[in-house]
Structure 1
Amino acid sequence: MTTEYTQLAPKVVFGADPAPLILSRRKIVVSFSPKSACTHTLVWFLRQEGLEDQARDYHQWPHRFRVNCYYKLDAYSRNLADAIAHPADYTLLKVTRTPSNRLVSQYRHSLRHNLVDDAMSARFDIDAKSDGYSLAQFSHFLSSIDRRVVSRTDSHLCEQFHPAWMFPFGQVITVNADTHNVSACLNQVEERFDLPVTDFRDTSLYGAWSKAHHRPKEQAARADDLFFRPFSKADAKLSFPTRALQSHARTHRAADQLFPLDARHSETSADFAGACIDAPRTTGRASPMAA
């Protein structure tokens, strides 16, 4: 493990938000971060683990079940203890994003949900609630806070890197949701580990859960000054220049500076038993959750 995590107890490492899930039938540790196809992956996991109906009955938002119920299950406690004691028997499946693309998603999420309005208003002497703030200002704010997942910072503002990734798992599979189709990759994982195959075209799989994943209309904009242009909550909900901001050179530089570990751990890999995750993204979204 990296030096800053070596003194932490294993349960603290695994408990960092969001704590990994454990697919008990095939000893697969599933890890993701907010704004990294997390809901898409979680819904797939709940179906594979036989918890889909319980999650739907508990709340319309599946992460509520994950946080309030799943981690408290006796089965999870037993699986977690076994994974900590025998990591070589487990496969780590992590779903990631390209850091610069995720930074734009973090920015839009913060605008839409008023996540850091008070802090931004105080730091830059602005009215963030009504006028919004720029990606430059948001990046500057992130540079001043603890972005590790083991901190008390909201996980939507933290890096993707999870200290549990450093455990000596027997196999590691990384799926980057920006470069590869997550559904197709999960289907390949199912085939490789002899799991029931999920039909991601089945609308009942996501149902009402997909309504919470509103995606704003793509705003046509020149990329030259976007990094410094303030955007508001209304922009984040209705019309937002996602692609232009993602391609901006300053966005890439900011992400490299803010999340250096993410760049080293986010690329889709083909490092399990000689098999290959090979489902590159085509046009359109990788996840039906964005419909």
Structure 2
Amino acid sequence: MDFDRLLQQLRILDPSVLDMPPSPRQEQLVRAVLQAVRNAAEQTAPGKPQHLPGLGVFRHRPPPPEGEAGGRPRRRMMFVPDETPALQEDTARRWRDALCQAEPPLPDPQGRFVVLFSPKSASSSVLIWFFHVLGLYDEARSYDEWPHQYRLRRFYQREDYLAARATVGPAQVQVLKVVRDPLRRAVSSFRHAVGLGYANEAIRRAIGVDVDTQGLSFRQFIDFLETEDLAHCDVHHREQWHPLEAVKAPDMVINIDRGDLFSGLNAFEARLGLPITDLRQLSWLHELQATRVPEVMTGDLDTLYQRPLTVSQARHGPWPAHLLSADARQRLQRLYGRDVMLYA
């Protein structure tokens, strides 16, 4: 078995699994798992090949020619890695599937890059920048003051977008990922849920709270999150990890809670050799940011964590400056474990 090739295939299947190069401990774990799978294959289906999609096949070794067995015992099962064309076909399929998710990424129609964004992680600002880079800024702004309207109703129907989605592969593009701290994002999602009511019916069914009449505390919101499938739920509180990352790891990650978004976007432009955008001159960006609710409510953190907040407070303030109590942090770290591991 070509062990180095197996490690390469594992990274293609999920780039987050292994360092590059793999650490000795990771190699040891892969060898141990491979041995366990080999043993299981031999016990459960004697004499039959066992295929591991995207990796290879366990086959029984043919008996050695007479007189060549030697004194060393031979494993009855051998592992044959998949041929490269089969692996490439599997990668291309998973890439296309990821680009067609319910909340699709943003591929550049010219095939230079793909943007992975998450609601409540500066997605509107990222989207305005994206439209500017594509030369669609004026068209998108004329269509609607909320940039996501153009994305949903016009951009995803454009022929050049559809062509790029169908033809551009992972090897051709740079992937930009924009995230924020998963716990702070949950606080932002909470205010959004209370203010806009997008999850009211789901919250009522899950925990029996009528947000319109009773308000909702951050503690209750986490109660609700604990009933959700955070890989497939509403995008405003869905995990930030995207299936595209299992095919190609982001080439650049901007965490807006760790660094300046505008500087990060300019750095990505420089990386691609694109003109550097003066984001201070994009008035649309700053007009949207001016609508943010001021966070002026203060008090004991544990009390604020358990205090029901109203629709009016979510929309107009006052809103707590802090909600991440020790209990909230512990619960959210468990809920958003993958995001915490990758982005926090």
- Same-fold call, TM cutoff 0.5: yes
**Partner Cα distance (2:129, 2:206) in 1:** 40
5+ unaligned residues in a row in structure 1: which ranges? Answer: 268-291
User: Match for residue 71 of structure 1?
Assistant: 156
Deviation at 1:203, TM superposition (A): 4.8
Choose 1 or 2 for highest CA Rg: 2
Deviation at 1:120, TM superposition (A): 2.9
**Partner Cα distance (1:191, 1:228) in 2:** 46
Give the direction of change, closer, same or farther, for the CA distance of 1:82–1:228 in structure 2 (3 Å limit): same
Give the direction of change, closer, same or farther, for the CA distance of 1:29–1:250 in structure 2 (3 Å limit): same
User: Match for residue 279 of structure 1?
Assistant: none
User: Match for residue 334 of structure 2?
Assistant: 257
Give the direction of change, closer, same or farther, for the CA distance of 1:26–1:223 in structure 2 (3 Å limit): same
In structure 2, which of residues 244, 247, 251 is the aligned counterpart of residue 167 of structure 1? 247
5+ unaligned residues in a row in structure 2: which ranges? Answer: 1-12, 15-53, 55-89
Tell me: higher relative CO, structure 1 or 2? Use CA pairs within 8 A at least 6 residues apart: 1
1:82-231 alignment to 2 at 5 Å?
82-83=167-168, 86-148=169-231, 151=232, 153-168=233-248, 172-206=251-285, 209-210=288-289, 213-231=291-309
The number of residues matched between the two structures is 256
In structure 1, which of residues 232, 235, 241 is the aligned counterpart of residue 313 of structure 2? 235
**Partner Cα distance (2:166, 2:204) in 1:** 44
User: Match for residue 138 of structure 2?
Assistant: 53
Give the direction of change, closer, same or farther, for the CA distance of 1:78–1:203 in structure 2 (3 Å limit): closer
Give the direction of change, closer, same or farther, for the CA distance of 1:216–1:87 in structure 2 (3 Å limit): same
**Partner Cα distance (1:216, 1:240) in 2:** 7
Deviation at 1:55, TM superposition (A): 0.7
| Alignment check: 8 A CA contact 1:16 1:162 kept | no
Aligned residues with identical type, % of pairs? 30
**Partner Cα distance (1:164, 1:9) in 2:** 8
**Partner Cα distance (1:128, 1:254) in 2:** 21
Give the direction of change, closer, same or farther, for the CA distance of 1:225–1:106 in structure 2 (3 Å limit): same
TM-score after normalising by structure 1 = 0.80
What is the root-mean-square deviation of aligned Cα atoms in Å? 2.4
In structure 2, which of residues 100, 103, 112 is the aligned counterpart of residue 27 of structure 1? 112
TM-score after normalising by structure 2 = 0.68
